[in-house]
Amino acid sequence: MINIRSKDYKLLETQLARRVEKWLSMPNSNMEERDKTKNFYWADIFPLLMELFQYKERYKVENHNLFGLILTVGTSPEPLILSIITCQPERVLFLYTPQTEKYLDQIIEYTGLKISQIDKSMVEGADSLAIYQIVMQTWENWGRRKSVAVDITGGTKAMTGGLAMAGALLGFQLLYVASDDFLHDKRCPRPGSEHMVVIPNPYIVFGSLQENEARDLYKRQDYHGASKTLAELVNNVPDSRRFEVFMALSKAYEEWDVLNIKGAIEHFTNAINRLEKLKPKREGIEILEIIKLQRGKLLNLAELIPDKPGKTILPLLQNKEAVETLVFTIYYNAQRMADRGKYDSAALYLYRLLEIFEQRRFASFGIDTGSPCYENLPTISSLMLLERVNQIKESKGQSTINFLPPYIALANGYLILEALGDRFQLKNTRPKPIQWSSFLDEKKKRNYSILAHGFIFVSEEQYKQLKIMVDSIFDLFCLIEDINRDRAFDHYHFIENPFEKINSC
């Protein structure tokens, strides 16, 4: 890098102005005079111009620490030389035509580039697609570095257009060496009037690239990744209001997805407040209403979730709306896990759902499955209940028990509910009753999972078989509890594609 002090800069500026005046006054009527004028420019003017340009313009790119610079070569090598010495890249790619190849030697000579720093490729002047392909391949060869700039000063319009589009799409810095004083008789800018223009990348300014990335992550149900990308957009784009809504919504679903109900409520509140300020149009209003509904459902559930381990869950399980929110939360979490190919986790959620079904039904009898008090049953004594349980166990070929269990586990729970005469029984499922042996088989498969008590991987097919059984039991549960399962889809299903539904304020 050329290092000159401000007082030296003033001196150089004065020297340049004098030499430019001399250059402009030189005769230019024949070939010999034109050659003499040209030689004077390159020998006496351009070296000073290089020093001054770098001194004035370096600050525009010095914080970027550019690894690579890509340039289209036209018939005027001067701006390319100025760009290279100012950017000081580690690597350079020249895109040139058969007509402009001859200028490469001059550019390399003045910039002092080493052979190891140079990549070059000949293109047809109008083939913008080829330019894009070459840029992509070179970028791959450079290790997909982000610290890359493109200079679109030289070359044909098609060349610069192709390079600009490629650079903008890949998020490169866009540069242009401009002048406010072009000398038409000399066919070049007045020396000293040149300056570096850093062109705002529209994809970065308006967030198009990162918005597409966020859309893709959200669509893949990676709400954490989507919220991180959206946070970058919020910090970088001029109008971040839409992205603030999407970020809050992504964070809400991220927390809901991991069952952090209170965290989800906080982010839903943020999303609602920001979306209301946008004054959304029809589809945005529909989303706003869904978000408000989902937040309300979670608020009711959050108020009933025990604040410490060991505390009774009966108040929650006896609240129908809270139970509805809980079971659909678990069910859709299982579905999202399966969509991601995580069948072990999905099976674990479905198994938990079977437990919650019976916990809710026991709660209707005033029984907490974690610490059941059978003496509180209003219509049957504990001894009579034990007798009925053993009759049912004998009918299913199972060993009898001497006392009612102090903790009601999954299989025993379904047997005891049958003994209590509750409608929630496997024989009442539709379209056909679930056999007790089949129920136990599916239960064992879960127990063998590495996330339960074993080391077996749950396959997609095994998960699907379990889900068929759970769906049948879920339908029975909704029938008994008078829950509209179809209508609940909009209540608990995460909103798809909010980006397309909230396009304008």
* Mean pLDDT to the nearest integer, 387-391: 96
Strand partners, 188: 183
Q: Cα separation of 271 and 148, whole Å? A: 36
Q: Is 63 exposed, middle or buried (0-12, 13-18, 19+ CB in 10 A)?
A: exposed
Go through the chain and tell me how many residues it has.
505
Q: What is the mean pLDDT of the chain?
A: 90
Task: Quote the pLDDT of residue 442.
Answer: 86
* Mean pLDDT to the nearest integer, 47-65: 86
Task: Quote the pLDDT of residue 396.
Answer: 92
Best-predicted range by mean pLDDT (50-64, 123-137, 152-166, 264-278)? 264-278
Q: Cα separation of 160 and 16, whole Å? A: 30
* pLDDT digits 0-9 by tens, 340-356: 999 999 999 999 999 99
Q: Are 288 and 272 in contact (CB under 8 A)?
A: yes
Q: Is 468 exposed, middle or buried (0-12, 13-18, 19+ CB in 10 A)?
A: exposed
Helix (H) or strand (E) holding 182: strand 182-183
Task: Quote the pLDDT of residue 185.
Answer: 81
Amino acid letter for position 322: A
* pLDDT digits 0-9 by tens, 271-284: 999 999 988 888 88
Q: Are 339 and 221 in contact (CB under 8 A)?
A: yes
Q: Cα separation of 158 and 148, whole Å? A: 21
Give the per-residue SS3 of 400-425.
Answer: CCCCCCCCCCHHHHHHHHHHCCCCCC
Give the residue among 381, 380, 359, 385 at the shortest CA–CA distance from 371: 359
| pLDDT > 90 in the chain, percent | 69
E-state strands within 308-429 = none
Question: For the range 7-14, what are the long-range contacts, defined as Cβ-Cβ under 8 Å and sequence gap of 24 or more?
Answer: 9/52, 9/55, 12/48, 12/51, 12/52, 13/52, 13/192
* pLDDT digits 0-9 by tens, 202-247: 766 667 778 889 999 999 999 999 999 999 888 877 688 999 999 9
> Quick one: pLDDT band at residue 1, thresholds 50, 70, 90?
very low
Q: What is the pTM of this model?
A: 0.67
Q: Is 419 exposed, middle or buried (0-12, 13-18, 19+ CB in 10 A)?
A: buried
Q: Are 350 and 467 in contact (CB under 8 A)?
A: yes
Q: Are 369 and 359 in contact (CB under 8 A)?
A: yes
Domain boundaries, the chain: 6-202, 208-304, 314-492
Q: Cα separation of 288 and 308, whole Å? A: 33
* Mean pLDDT to the nearest integer, 363-369: 94
* Mean pLDDT to the nearest integer, 299-307: 94
* pLDDT digits 0-9 by tens, 444-475: 777 666 666 666 788 899 999 999 999 999 99
Backbone angles phi, psi at 16, to 5 degrees: -65, -45
Place of tokens 């000579």: 109
* pLDDT digits 0-9 by tens, 162-205: 888 888 878 888 999 999 888 888 888 999 999 999 887 776 66
Question: For the range 208-213, what are the long-range contacts, defined as Cβ-Cβ under 8 Å and sequence gap of 24 or more?
Answer: 209/169, 209/171, 210/236, 211/243, 211/499
| Three-state secondary structure call for residue 149 | strand
Amino acid letter for position 25: S
Q: Cα separation of 444 and 437, whole Å? A: 11
When mean pLDDT is compared across 85-94, 118-127, 422-431, the lowest value belongs to 118-127
| pLDDT > 70 in the chain, percent | 94
Give the residue among 358, 423, 418 at the shortest CA–CA distance from 388: 418
Task: Quote the pLDDT of residue 452.
Answer: 65
Asked if pLDDT for residue 5 goes beyond 80, the answer is no
Task: Quote the pLDDT of residue 459.
Answer: 87
Place of tokens 């992205």: 243
Identify the architecture of domain 6-202 in CATH: 3-Layer(aba) Sandwich (3.40)
Residue 342: Cβ within 10 Å count = 17
Task: Quote the pLDDT of residue 478.
Answer: 97
